[in-house]
Structure 1
Amino acid sequence: MSIRKVAARAGVSTATVSRVFTQPQAVADETRRRVMTAAGELHYAPHPAASALARGRTCNLGIVVPDVSNSFSAVVTKAVDRQARREGYALFVAGSDEVVHDEETSARALAQQVDGLLLVSPRMPDDALLALADMTPIVMLNRLLDGIPAVLTNLYEATGHAVEHLHALGHRTVVYLAGPDGYTNDVRLRGFRDACSRLGMEASELGPFAARFQAGVRAADLVLAASVTAVVAYNDEIAVGVVNRLSDRGIGVPSDISVVGFDDTELAEMVTPRLTTVRIPAAMAGTAAVELLLDLVRGRDAGLGSPRELSAELVVRSSTGPARVAPDTGQDPAP
């Protein structure tokens, strides 16, 4: 049923019918009643997208992730999409492939087509983020910047728990496989260094590596050259790559080297041995972020100044075990 037929039956113009559905307060009560009666009799309903555009809204949200194929990004995106649909919004998705320029370009392109934008672990400079926030409402996951609402996970404490777990198993030499430069890696690295220093462990670092399986495969040979008994990897994908390559080289996990990942994605349960990892509530973070974003879009921005912080937890599985015994003395190598 067309708007013209509603206008003809109510005896008004099509512009008046449009105003009844988009700006009802601008139409006289009697006229509004006639239009609504005619619309009801003709079973007319305005198109949702057209109504939204008339109100200056698109009913679209956007999300930019570092890698659309990454397991963690997929969990976050799915949670955001589910919540967005519940609220009547469609979701546009873009991936940067961990390239800062592409991240900024994608974000700027989306900003012109959506009511609000989510950025997952963004790496672009602060001034670029602030300029983007002037274009459209923004919420970030795993990045902290004054003036932009954020959802964070307590990665510093969780990394410390992972190191403490390895120390309790007798490990005294451990390497951290760094991920892409940025807030997330910085916090994990700081937690790793501080925990190792506090516990008197010999710590080394390798990377940065792309947050992907193949990067972990390449990193494994460097791990063997470092002569350590334990590995803390930036994420599960790197960790699983390490486990895979070590197996190919006849190195036992955890009998020779223990491996810890981050994120607790589905990969952690699929690999053999099952991966000890730090569980990050990805779905919860995505839902919290889109709720914050919709509050911004709807003008309910009171109390959004402080970041919303979520807890992480260490999940112990089969990829970590007691440090190997030194063959020459039969004693644990720990001092």
Structure 2
Amino acid sequence: MVIPGRRVQRRVTLTEIAEACGVAPSTVSRALSNPNRVSTVMYERITSKAQEMGYTSALLPSADNRLARGTIALVLPNLTNPFNLDVIRGAQAQIRAASYLHLLVSTEESLPMEAQWMREMARTVDGIVVSSPRIDDEALRAVSQVAPTVVVNRAAPGLSGVVIDTPAGLGQAVHYLNSLGHTRIAYVRGPHASWTDRTRFEAITAAAHESDVEIVAVGRYQPTLSNGAAAADAVVLTRATACIFFNDVLAIGALDRFHQLGVAIPDDLSVVGCDDIFGASFSHPPLTTVTSPGESAGRAAVDMLIGRFATRDRSDRIDHISAHLTVRASTGPRNND
């Protein structure tokens, strides 16, 4: 990971600046990460002393123009899922429109890497947007105390963010499959540390209870095409007549494997994905999925973050974006043979 040079050439610590100014290190951190979190007098006092001591990240815009040309980090668990590319497009457009620099970080599904880099970036950037984080709520709240942070697809006390309501869409999928005669449905689960997977599974099981449908949980899988193929073998063993996958990447990976196994889709098995990524509409067969507006989420998250730069209101807030089931050819009536 390369951090912009304007903030990495340090020779002075926050603690040293705090001692020189006679304030707490947390006050210095707030002033340098987001000047609007302290008074103008305190901001000028701290940045003047920091410049004097050679702390290069203190070379921020003047008090009259604090919101120009800072750096916003966008953190994602991977760059292989097309849904994340949609989030990037939306976030990048808003960051560019606001004249900020854009730092893109992929943690490659590594929880330790995500935890370390988030802690480090909180001291070097003006704000952070993190999508589908794997670290826990407490760690995220600690990061947000150092730098303004907005989370995509995580809702927890003390955190602000944007949540796409895919769980409701998957609840729709359960009811839809049940209307087609399916009473035993497999759910292929996502990564262990995924809040999104947990909320999707909870919504699926709640909808199944309402419809008197049996849900069979299958494994824990990182969202890759090869893992989707592996999950397909496990789904066949459940003897379910329909299956829902954590996301479209897993579902599309499974479709090819089902074909190899001689499982006809949807005659033998109905398949549902989630996110409606690029490619879902022309998979074979076209995939029934929950349409999830990732680009809108990216835009909304950046708008929320920049809004927090300009206001003293630090209360947490969660905005919701709706999602819906899109029916295509991968689902059909249960075969009673």
Q: TM-score, structure 2 length as denominator?
A: 0.78
Q: What is residue 143 of structure 1 aligned with on the other side? A: 154
Q: What is residue 186 of structure 1 aligned with on the other side? A: 198
Q: What is residue 335 of structure 2 aligned with on the other side? A: 324
Is the Cα contact below 8 Å between 1:175 and 1:232 reproduced in 2?
yes
* Match status 1:133 vs 2:144: yes
Equivalents in 2 of 1:301, 1:176: separation in Å?
A: 41
Rg comparison, structure with higher value: 1
Equivalents in 1 of 2:213, 2:329: separation in Å?
A: 22
Equivalents in 2 of 1:301, 1:243: separation in Å?
A: 48
Is the Cα contact below 8 Å between 2:164 and 2:292 reproduced in 1?
yes
Q: What is residue 306 of structure 2 aligned with on the other side? A: 294
Q: TM-score, structure 1 length as denominator?
A: 0.79
Is the Cα contact below 8 Å between 2:166 and 2:324 reproduced in 1?
no
Equivalents in 1 of 2:212, 2:248: separation in Å?
A: 26
Q: Which has the higher contact order (CA 8 A, sep 6+)?
A: 2
Q: RMSD across aligned C-alpha pairs, in angstroms?
A: 2.1
- What is the percent sequence identity of the aligned residues? 32
* Match status 1:156 vs 2:167: yes
Matches within 5 A, 1:112-131: 112-131=123-142
**Structure 2 unaligned spans of 5+:** 1-39, 42-56
1:231 aligned residue (220, 238, 243) = 243
Q: What do residues 221-244 of structure 1 show as CA deviations (whole Å, max 9, x unaligned)?
A: 011111111010000000101111
Equivalents in 1 of 2:119, 2:90: separation in Å?
A: 23
Equivalents in 1 of 2:245, 2:170: separation in Å?
A: 10
Q: Which runs of 4+ in 1 moved over 3 A?
A: 49-58
SS in 1 for 2:155: coil
Is the Cα contact below 8 Å between 2:158 and 2:316 reproduced in 1?
yes
Shift of 1:70: 1.2
Q: What is residue 332 of structure 1 aligned with on the other side? A: none
Equivalent residue letter for 1:60? T
Q: What is residue 108 of structure 2 aligned with on the other side? A: 97
SS in 2 for 1:63: strand
Equivalents in 2 of 1:183, 1:301: separation in Å?
A: 26
Is the Cα contact below 8 Å between 1:65 and 1:94 reproduced in 2?
yes
**Structure 1 unaligned spans of 5+:** 1-24, 27-48, 327-335
Q: What do residues 287-307 of structure 1 show as CA deviations (whole Å, max 9, x unaligned)?
A: 1100000011223536x5331
For these two proteins, the number of residue pairs brought into alignment is 279
Q: What is residue 44 of structure 1 aligned with on the other side? A: none
Q: What is residue 231 of structure 2 aligned with on the other side? A: 219
Shift of 1:127: 2.2
* Match status 1:170 vs 2:163: no
Q: What do residues 161-198 of structure 1 show as CA deviations (whole Å, max 9, x unaligned)?
A: 01011111111111000001332111100111111121
Equivalents in 2 of 1:230, 1:120: separation in Å?
A: 29
SS in 2 for 1:254: coil
